[in-house]
Structure 1
Amino acid sequence: MITGKSKIVIENGQIDYQILKKLRMTVDQLEMRIRTKGISNISDIQIATIEPNGQLGYELKKEAKPLTYGEFTKLIGGINGNQNENSNQDNNEYKEPNIFQEIKNTNTQKHNKIFK
């Protein structure tokens, strides 16, 4: 059984070299673990820890987090002036929005404000 506490090795995009030294880990080894998680920029990381089992745990900064399908549909709904997440809630039927048609029908001025 593995016991211990996780150690914070990156905070606000900055590496804590003293903790790395205590863990006997090089920056190259840390970068390798980060790359295997699909992160290309250390500055995109809000906080990263080395867990007692040796695994890397991390949280990305808000601006670096990937866009989810739910967030995207809310954004498209907001562009069209439709604040409801699901306009078909009355009949409990969900229809996937035709995103390309919705963008095409969107007011150009609103579109430019959102996607600049």
Structure 2
Amino acid sequence: MNQYWDEFWKSLVLIIFGMLLLRISGRKSISQMTIPTTITMISIGTIIVQPIAEESILLTGLAAIVFILVLISVEILQVRFNRFEKWIKGPAIIVIEGGQLDERNLKKLRLTVDALEMKLRLQGISKISDVKTATIEPNGQLGYELKDSAKPVTVSQLESLLSKYFNGTEDGSDVAISNLPNQETTLFNEIRKGDQHVTNKQLQ
């Protein structure tokens, strides 16, 4: 019986250790991994499971169950507790603010300017100066908000302009203003303040 408990705690420690290693290694999805990064990650996985792989099939199966249960528990805790999610994933990090690069955060992410420019090009953005705010999300993807001058016209804004044009400035001006997007509260303001979804974290 003690052997099974030893295997349980060994599996628990190994998966926590593995998550910490991945947390430290940086925020890159599998598709973004370079060859050295991929080899390193595979090696880490091999090293982590090595103490378990040499045991019996039953103990290896128990270890696999523990890994799965811990993974499910972590996902549930991330849904229920914002602080736990932030600790596991880390917050989104701003890399462009007001059309200017944040070199300090780029160094923190170990992300080159060329790599950031590639991400921008993939989103169809040709100028850094057109970007109001850009972030690197916990999954390694790029989030961005364009400046008002670079944003495409939305249907509601077009309708407001047409209403203003056909009805005159007095009748259409209020409509145009009311249909403009709210500039006070955005998803990027949450990142600046450091409180992402601090309200109810439970799924509705």
More strand by share: 1
Unaligned 5+ runs, structure 2: 1-74, 76-87, 176-204
SS in 2 for 1:54: coil
Q: Are residue 25 (structure 1) and residue 111 (structure 2) matched?
A: yes
Tell me what 1:44 maps to. 130
SS in 2 for 1:9: strand
Q: Are residue 59 (structure 1) and residue 145 (structure 2) matched?
A: yes
Q: Are residue 8 (structure 1) and residue 91 (structure 2) matched?
A: no
Matched AA of 2:162: I
SS in 2 for 1:34: helix
Matched residues, number: 85
SS in 1 for 2:125: coil
Q: What is the percent sequence identity of the aligned residues?
A: 54
Matched AA of 2:156: G
1:68 positional shift: 1.0
Unaligned 5+ runs, structure 1: 86-116
SS in 2 for 1:66: coil
Q: How does 1:91-110 map to 2 (within 5 A)?
A: none
Matched AA of 2:108: K
Q: Are residue 79 (structure 1) and residue 79 (structure 2) matched?
A: no
1:3 positional shift: 0.8
CA distance in 2, matches of 1:14, 1:62: 16
SS in 1 for 2:167: coil
Matched AA of 1:35: R
Normalised TM-score (structure 1): 0.67
Cα deviation 1:48-74 (Å, max 9, x = unaligned):
110111011111111111101221121
SS in 2 for 1:80: helix
Tell me what 1:108 maps to. none
Normalised TM-score (structure 2): 0.39
1:76 positional shift: 1.1
1:44 positional shift: 0.8
Q: Which runs of 4+ in 1 moved over 6 A?
A: none
Cα deviation 1:46-101 (Å, max 9, x = unaligned):
1111011101111111111110122112101111116477xxxxxxxxxxxxxxxx
1:43 positional shift: 0.5
- State the structure with more CA Rg: 2
1:12 positional shift: 0.2
CA RMSD of aligned residues (A): 1.7
CA distance in 1, matches of 2:132, 2:111: 20
